[in-house]
A = this chain, B = another copy of it.
Amino acid sequence: MFFASDNAGPALPGVMQRVTEANAGYAMPYGADEIMEEVRTALRAVFEAPEAAVYLVATGTAANALALACYAQPWQTVFCSEVAHVQEDECNAPEFYSGGAKLSLVPGGDKMTPETLRARIAVEETRRVHGPQRGPVSITQVTERGRIYTLEELHGLTGVAREFGLPVHLDGARFANALVALDCTPAEMTWKAGVDVVSFGGTKNGCLGVEAVIFFDPAKAWEFELRRKRGAHLFSKHRYLSAQMAGYLENGAWLDAARTANANCARLAQGLGKKGAEFLHPPQANMIFTRFPRGIHQRLHDAGARYYIWEGTLEGADPDEMLTARLVCDWSISTQQIDLFLSHFDK
């Protein structure tokens, strides 16, 4: 009953198989391996972007920080939601990699709107040389609260960025979960929607540790390569990154895994709803925030369920007090585990 995060489950069998198969003989280092050639071709096809510059790194923070650094000058500010991963969960990595850029937080929780974004952008750069200069817009899809921007919403945000001439980054740590929920193409969710660079997550959806960074305009390619090396994120035995991504993409394994994770989450949410649990937002992808009484949390905890209590603390006298849980499903959670989890509501 592990719902703490989608970064704690195992890798997909097909991913691990490719890694194992890659472990034979010699391979050119530093991204010159043949599997990377396969990956590059595959990702360009997936994104319908034959000119795209495609790179692999091992962590989502590396993907985000390196991608943003290619677009954010040190005297600029990055626009993102107030709970964005780049703001809350990267220990100042964007500031580090950009050489000291700022993050300007768009108020309103996990989702920006054209209005809130425009208002925040408008504030900056009204003081000429004195204030931070406007920099890239970073959008998280799936958001940190489990919600998904529709294509229309994405177009709305990138349209505002375009008004101000600002580049757009998409933090797609859960790219696949959003994609299958929207039932659109990768191109539609990225460059056709005005995105310039995407962090295409693999780790949370069934890899060991690999993320792609995809620039739809390859003009930043060489700069990225230098930044990646300088940031110590260029792997010598790069084939093991390539193999993960190859296995992830092969036969749509990445889409299947995301569909499974989303379906797991829907089943969990449906069950919780029946038990009377409340939701912060309607379930959209593979992560929900849900409220139910402390007494049930305690039973679940004692039974070995693992997840974050987002608001409130397990310790407390009142068994009826409502505590908010964050529950995340990865591809590997079984329906039995979900049903077992739900069964504790009835005891």
Binding site for B on A (CB under 8 A): 2, 5, 7-11, 16, 19-20, 23-30, 57-62, 65-66, 73-77, 88-93, 95-103, 105, 127, 129-133, 203-204, 207-209, 225-227, 229-237, 240, 306
Contacts and interface: CB of A to CB of B under 8 A. Distances in A.
A5 B29 CA distance: 9
A132 B92 contact: yes
A9 B25 CA distance: 6
A28 to B, nearest CB: 7
A225 B75 CA distance: 11
A138 to B, nearest CB: 15
A16 B237 CA distance: 14
A209 B103 CA distance: 31
A65 B234 CA distance: 13
A89 B130 contact: yes
Given A208-B240, A235-B59, A229 B26 contact: no
A35 to B, nearest CB: 13
A230 B207 CA distance: 22
Nearest to A306: B26
A10 B20 CA distance: 10
A28 B8 contact: yes
